[in-house]
Amino acid sequence: MDTTTDCTPEVLRTRMVDQIVGARATSAPVEAALRAVPRHAFVPEATLDQAYDVDLAVITKRSSDGTPLSCASVPSLVATMLDQLQVASGDRILEIGAGTGYNAALLAHLTGPTGQVTTVDIDPDVTAGARRTLDATGHRDVHVITRDGALGDPERAPYDRIIVTVGAWDIPTAWTDQLAPGGRLVVPLRWRGQTRSVAFTHDDGRLVSDSVELCGFVPMIGQDGERSGPIDADGQVMLYWDADQPIDPAVLQGVLDQPQHSVWSGVTVVANEPFDGIWLRLTSVEPGTCRITATPAAIESGRCDPAIPSRSPALVEDASLAYLTLRRHTDDGDERRWELGAAGHGPTGPELADRLCDQIRAWAHDRTAQPLITAYSAGDSDDQLPSTNTITKPCVRLTVVY
């Protein structure tokens, strides 16, 4: 390990936790765990400064093409998800995704000597590394198991808490079955091209949310529910959508060459102000919500100009498309402002742009509002679900309601 730094691990760890606590509300038990567990011991490939960088994920394994396969998550996100989990002393906990073992060590600190922590990962290299580091740091009581995380660990079920530290596109039935009534599941769940850390409570066979936070994670192996394809001849503009959506990129070929209809919402944001809540709102009412990306060449040519080129929400309906965009507005004193709007293409592009702007305005009315997300079993009949937009996955059906 490169230890090039002017500070000791203890000083750097204190600084990291102080930054996390200063930026967001963190529970006292989670703060104590972050101060107690030496993160640098779990990421020996990183420098001390990297190990205690509050906003740095440390990649610990890559595929042959460089794609990240495992990592130590950003410390600030680790704190957020542990707060969502609401661990109590003595809890039985299942973690899906062993990573470096750092999160399991934090969980062991939170549960105390009367608790039980099990961490599961499909990759034997990952579990072997986690086992070694957990042993070396005094966490020998943590159970480390190599198996498909979708299966959970029925041998030690039921669990009071389940936390998933890989990106999940679905919620396997085993997780719900192994979660005690009233227990909590925290999962980085992906739908309609965006990922949220959702804290669910197990309520009469259903999972009901009470906390939703923006996040990003290495995807879980074996859950291939997202589709993608270009909508231009050069492959410079891509769409990403879910398997349950009737989106066909072939039908959309050339849509961006059709006249653009721009609609402006009158809603403005300042630099670095998050507006991801618009995307979340769209998933609650618009079945055609998906993700659009555009290369620098596509933007420079004027073909496509999404608000965030690498990840912006879009609406698709048959051969028509609208996507979130923005334009420079005015300077408000020392603050630069941008107005949010939508660009529509195709026969119903103008209507889609209007509908997207409706959701921009709804978001602006209460920018911190969180939806109620409910995960029903895929086997539940339609009359058991509210009459709202339903997101269908193999194991669960989601509703997102504001």
State pLDDT tens for residues 342-369: 999 999 999 999 999 999 999 999 999 9
Give me the percent of the chain exceeding a pLDDT of 70.
Answer: 97
Q: Are residues 313 and 258 in the same domain?
A: yes
In-domain check, residue 374: no
CA distances from 317 to 99, 327, 351, 358, 396 (A): 40, 25, 10, 17, 24
Q: Are residues 256 and 236 in the same domain?
A: yes
Range of the domain at 231: 226-365
Question: Which of the residues 70, 73, 197, 284 is marked catalytic?
Answer: 73
C-beta neighbour count of 194 within 10 angstroms? 21
Tell how far CA 109 is from the center of its chain. Answer: 25
Q: Are residues 333 and 273 in the same domain?
A: yes
Residue 3: its pLDDT value, please? 45
Say how far apart CA 305 and CA 158 lie, in whole Å: 49
Q: Are residues 294 and 202 in the same domain?
A: no
In-domain check, residue 396: no
Q: What is the pLDDT of residues 143-162, one digit of tens each?
A: 999 999 999 999 999 999 99
Q: Are residues 54 and 152 in the same domain?
A: yes
Q: Are residues 258 and 202 in the same domain?
A: no
Q: What is the mean pLDDT of residues 89-100?
A: 96
Q: Are residues 113 and 172 in the same domain?
A: yes
Q: Are residues 153 and 245 in the same domain?
A: no
Say how far apart CA 49 and CA 213 lie, in whole Å: 26
- Is a pLDDT exceeding 60 seen at residue 4? no
Containing 344, the helix (H) or strand (E) segment is: strand 335-345
Q: Which phi and psi angles does 73 have, rounded to 5°?
A: -65, 160
Q: Which of 59-68, 213-222, 254-263, 268-277 has the lowest mean pLDDT?
A: 59-68
Q: Are residues 209 and 94 in the same domain?
A: yes
Helix (H, G, I), strand (E, B) or coil at 68: strand
Q: Are residues 109 and 53 in the same domain?
A: yes
Q: Are residues 174 and 235 in the same domain?
A: no
**333 band by pLDDT with thresholds 50, 70 and 90:** low
Q: Are residues 148 and 243 in the same domain?
A: no
Running DSSP on this structure, what letter comes out for residue 6?
S
In-domain check, residue 375: no
Helix (H, G, I), strand (E, B) or coil at 389: coil
228 labelled catalytic: no
Q: What is the mean pLDDT of the chain?
A: 93
- Whether this model's pTM surpasses 0.85: yes
Give me the percent of the chain exceeding a pLDDT of 90.
Answer: 84
